Structure formats: C-alpha cells, structure tokens
Structure 1
C-alpha cells in the first residue's frame, strides 16, 4: 500500500502525540479501547468461569503471540493512566520479564529517571507493567520522539548512530543542564546489566515546545551473555567504540563534559547500587533462586564490564 494509506490505517494509540486522520475537524481513533488493568489481574477468574478475555489479552496470555513488537505485549488502562504490559513468551527459557523488572528497580535506585514498573503473575506467567510516560495524568498525549528520529536516521540505521549523535541533537534542542551526565549514566547502567539492545529506538526525548528533555528510561533489558566480552548496540564515542567496559567508557568522558572524578563517581555509584540492592531488585522482579544464579555475575556486573576499572 502507499504511504498515505499505511498512515491512515495504522493504530491511533501510538507512541507520542502524533496520529493521522482523514479529516482536519473530526477525530476518529482507529483502536479499540485498551483493556482495563482489572481484566488482567482477574484473568484467571475470568478464564475459570468460562468468560472471554479481550482479544489482545487472550493472545498475549494464552498464545504468547506479540502485538506491536518482538515480544508479547498489550496496552492496558487504569482510569486515565495507561500501561504497557509485557508478557512472558511461551518459548522463554530466560527470565526476560523478571530481569527487566529488576533492572528498572536498580536504575531508579541509581538515580536514573525511569518509568514506573511492577510485576504481576497471571495464569502462571509473569507480566511486567510499565506506566506510559507519553500519556499525562488525564490521558492526554505527550509530545515524545525517539532518538532515532532526533538524529535524522531511518529505520535501517537504528544501530549505526551513537549516543554522542543523540546528545548533539538534545543540545541543539536546548536540553537542560545535566543531560550529558544523565546520558553517560544510562550508558554505564546498560553496560552494568548487559543491555546490548540499547539502540536508538530504545531512547527518547520529551518536547514541551521549548526544549527537549530525556524521557524516563525504558526497555532496560539484560541480554543473553555467556562470556566476558560484549558490545553495546550503538557507539558511545565518535569513532565507533561499543565495547561493554567501564574503563573504555571512562576514557571518553570528555564527550559528555565530565571530569575524571565525576565520571568515576558515576561508575562507582552504579556498581555499588547494583551490588548493594541486588536482593531487593530480584524480589521486585520475582526472580527465583535459579534465576538469580543465572543472572548475577553474568548479566549483572559481569567481570568483563569492570575489567580495568577501579582495581578490577
């Protein structure tokens, strides 16, 4: 189909504020209303009683198929607030949902602005609820844009940009003081949890008509990692450096306007927060003892990340 038809037939409840309509005067959303959060939480009772779940929840909970992404998910509402519900896939043999929930918990403890999350267990499957930051308290749309769009790259270039390109675009759009240090902190945290899926679509900014502000962090998902060598999805300097390593990141601190002492302090804080809050984070993510053994020292604070930094 042509581009106009694609835009006019795509879903209305998209990320950010923009939608496409055939009329300049009448707004007609093309999505069914999001399922209520109460339906998710009472899904077991509904199924046991022979009732019907909404189409989106039935697919995500019972079939494990995806709606709008690589993993099973659905949009839910609780009053005016909306949530992205991320579900365990039927073929998961890695605690994806619990690991992401634990990561969001640790990021908040590290002082990173993150989307509010919690974990529920429904029909024996873990569900991560992430509150949408692109919707206001009354359900209004918030102007949000991905880092991919801000850097002017197309879909095929999502992994060819860099954190520095994103920072440049934020600065051009009058991002507040401290943005560079916050972005440096997020890079370091992604390294510390082995999130190698940190491409430009997994970063965003909010626009208030005057300035661009980093959105709350989201999609902080540890990836499979068997050894001590790993790479980030996008580079953190202007020469293509992607190695998952604190010492390497520290060496390019000048690009983020940080002194060695300030940058080292950020890295030490992240390392300490993850180490000291691991048990609480695992409980938040409802990780089992086996999950914790699988993740600790492999995804979380892998020795390769710390090699060459602070005496390691």
Structure 2
C-alpha cells in the first residue's frame, strides 16, 4: 500500500498577483506504477496562460494525463518532492521504509518550503500553511543543528530541530535549511559536515564566485565561518522573490528522464538536448549561449556532478516565458581531476575536449563553427582571469590544485585533436 490519499490537489501561486488557486488533481492509479494528473475545469476555462510543465504537461486540458516515469508520479510533481536529504528526515519522522513511493513524500513534505510555486493538499480549496523561518543571523545555530541531524545526534535545540524537520521539502543530498534575511530574501544554507574530506561549503562558494567572475549567470552565495571549525555556504533561492514563489522545472523533467537514473537513460543526459529544449519552450538565444558557457566552465573546473537535477528553468512572469535559472550546486571534484562530465557535451561525447565541446555548437545558437570556436576561446580567457579574482576564497593547497586543473583543462579545450581534422 502506498498509504497516500486517493486524490491530491495541486495548487499554484499565480505568477501575476500571488493568489493561490487549485489548478489540478493528481491521483495514484489502481495498477502498480501508474498515476494521472488533470487540470481542473475551472482552471482550464479561466483563460489563464500558465502550464506547470511546458514539456510534459503542455496543454490545458481536463483529460487525464498519465505519468510515464517515477512509478506514476508526474515529472513536475517529482520536482516538488524532497530529494535525498529531505527524504531522510521524513523517513525518520514517519518511520518510512526504503523504497517508499515518491507520492508519499509529495504529500508529507511541507508546502511552506517546497521548491517552486506548487503546493499539495487533500482539499479542493488551497490551504497553504505559513512558517516562520530562522533568520540569517541564526545561521551558526542552524548549522550546528543540521550537523547534529546529519549525524543522528540528539537535538541541540528541540524547537529548531522540529522547525528543520517540518521544512524538509528542498532537494539535494546535503543537509540544508532555508533562512530569511532582513530584506525578506530567502537563502538556502548548507553547512560543512563530518564526512566532508575538505571544506565543501568554501569550495562551493569559490566556484559560484568564480563562475560569476567569468561573466556567467551564477546564483549569489555567502560564505560563513562559524565557531568550532564549522563553515557554511548560503545560496540565494532563485525560486523566491520575497513572498512570491516562482514556477520551476528541473532539467530531468525537460529532458524526460529520471534522476537518479533508474531507467538506464543517461544517453538522454545532454547539454545539446537541453539547449534544444530551451529553444522549443521559447527561452531566448542568450540562455543557450549561457548554457554553453556553463558546460565549458564545468569542464574547466572539473565539476562532474553536473547531473540533470543540477540545472533548471524558472518562469519569469514579466517576460511571459521560461528562462534558465542561475547556475547552482557547482562544486569542483575535490578528490581527482575528472576527464569527462555527467552530461554529454555533444552527441555521444562526455569527454572534456575541444572537439566534444564544439561538435554540436550549432544547437546552442551559434551561426557557424568559427563563431563557436571564437566564443570558446574568449570564454577560456574570461574563466582564467576570473580564477585570479576569487582564488583568495581557498586555502593555498586548494588554490594550487584547482589552478593546475584549470591549466590542464584549458589546454585540452584549446587543443586541436584528430576529431577536428
């Protein structure tokens, strides 16, 4: 038994005025591994333009639409579920067994902290519980409580522990929590944990700053040094503008594949395919160029954790279209220099090389191979110069390791190989 309500109502915060409305209903199917979603009659006939997933649920129809992945849960609803960290907390809180259906996590996760602009409930009328978020000034306390949670130690603050568990709706594998600053902005905080072999928060902050210094659109971050040797990185949430939540869809959904890859479909994990998807949903050409730049940056810095849930799109109401989100979760491999990425750089090619980067450059909006090659060469200069601007965020050994890696990978991207002849 899935132990989930027969029907779950899906709510959306309107992009135009912030009101919540019921837009659809998800239902677990009677057959194992099936489920269906339908937009409500009122929503379909309200003459509103917003679909919640431009690829998998692109039409405002009252017909049932089945889910081909995630054992019957629709992609965009899977996006609204917690990932590894949130699932771990919910498993402990509700004594859930391994292999619990994602639909169970969908209904148990708190709407208050859910990614994007969707919420879920068992009633036809939206009821969105509000929560008081810890303030950014409380970050040291939150970081220590998250570390205790991760290590399954007793609560340091029972009230804070309960608050963190109630907000277990955000994706990702690392312990994290949302904090609010004095300006009303929301930050996702990720502390260093005991299993880290190096200062991962500092490494992530450095990489995010490096990407921005290279002229790319990376999410804003802050690095915090905490007593007792702890550190934490806070990342500005791109799915929130004050109290307004923004619709988001993961790249896994755009590429119609699962993460983790339970279907053996990593052949669908591809930067060029993502560029195609951006074009099809109406994102501007500059987003495809930006994606190309991020692919190159990941190759240079050695971020081989560039999987399909570490890229996403967000709906910009003022532009009336979907856009690529700021880059997030960019962390260079701290152990070894990878020779390939997780997403294909071109058709069938995962290897870090000039030929792999340029083979499908036309799909990123370049008019000619010469234009793409010139852009690549310019970008490598920007990334190299950007490193020097932000290297101070790393200890000496980290600087040396990543500078050596950058030099080696820039050489690979500058080299003419037999594939180019």
> TM-score surpassing 0.5?
yes
Structure 1 length-normalised TM: 0.83
* Equivalent position of 2:400 in the other structure: 293
Q: How far does residue 267 in structure 1 lie from its aligned partner after superposition? A: 2.3
Give runs of aligned pairs for residues 132-281 of structure 1, distance below 5 A: 132-136=237-241, 138-157=242-261, 159-160=266-267, 161-208=269-316, 210-224=320-334, 226=336, 230-238=339-347, 240-258=348-366, 259-281=368-390
Which one of the candidate residues 8, 31, 35 is aligned to 2:134? 35
Q: How far does residue 171 in structure 1 lie from its aligned partner after superposition? A: 1.6
Provide structure 2 residue ranges, at least 5 long, that are not aligned to the other structure.
6-103, 153-167
* Equivalent position of 2:185 in the other structure: 81
Q: 1:222 to 1:267 in 2, by over 3 A?
A: same
* Equivalent position of 2:209 in the other structure: 105
In structure 1, how many angstroms separate the alpha carbons of the residues matched to 2:363 and 2:284? Answer: 16
Q: 1:62 to 1:293 in 2, by over 3 A?
A: farther
In structure 2, how many angstroms separate the alpha carbons of the residues matched to 1:3 and 1:266? Answer: 51
SS in 1 for 2:132: coil
Q: How far does residue 65 in structure 1 lie from its aligned partner after superposition? A: 4.7
Q: How far does residue 274 in structure 1 lie from its aligned partner after superposition? A: 3.1
In structure 1, how many angstroms separate the alpha carbons of the residues matched to 2:123 and 2:408? Answer: 57
Q: How far does residue 61 in structure 1 lie from its aligned partner after superposition? A: 4.2
CA contact (8 A) 1:245 1:305 kept: no
SS in 1 for 2:114: coil
* Equivalent position of 2:118 in the other structure: 18
Q: How far does residue 304 in structure 1 lie from its aligned partner after superposition? A: 4.3
Q: How far does residue 308 in structure 1 lie from its aligned partner after superposition? A: 5.9
In structure 1, how many angstroms separate the alpha carbons of the residues matched to 2:148 and 2:260? Answer: 33
In structure 2, how many angstroms separate the alpha carbons of the residues matched to 1:216 and 1:308? Answer: 24
In structure 2, how many angstroms separate the alpha carbons of the residues matched to 1:162 and 1:32? Answer: 38
Q: How far does residue 212 in structure 1 lie from its aligned partner after superposition? A: 1.7
Q: How far does residue 219 in structure 1 lie from its aligned partner after superposition? A: 1.0
Q: CA RMSD in A?
A: 2.6
* Equivalent position of 2:172 in the other structure: 69
CA contact (8 A) 1:35 1:76 kept: yes
Provide structure 1 residue ranges, at least 5 long, that are not aligned to the other structure.
44-52
Aligned length: 291
SS in 1 for 2:118: coil
In structure 2, how many angstroms separate the alpha carbons of the residues matched to 1:65 and 1:279? Answer: 36
In structure 2, how many angstroms separate the alpha carbons of the residues matched to 1:224 and 1:291? Answer: 9
Cα distance per residue 1:153-186 (max 9 Å; x no partner):
2334374421222222222211113222221111
Larger radius of gyration: 2
Q: How far does residue 64 in structure 1 lie from its aligned partner after superposition? A: 4.8
SS in 1 for 2:223: strand
Cα distance per residue 1:49-89 (max 9 Å; x no partner):
xxxx4xx5443245655965322222111142110112112
CA contact (8 A) 2:218 2:328 kept: yes
SS in 2 for 1:85: strand
Task: Answer 1 or 2: higher relative contact order, Cα 8 Å, separation at least 6.
Answer: 1
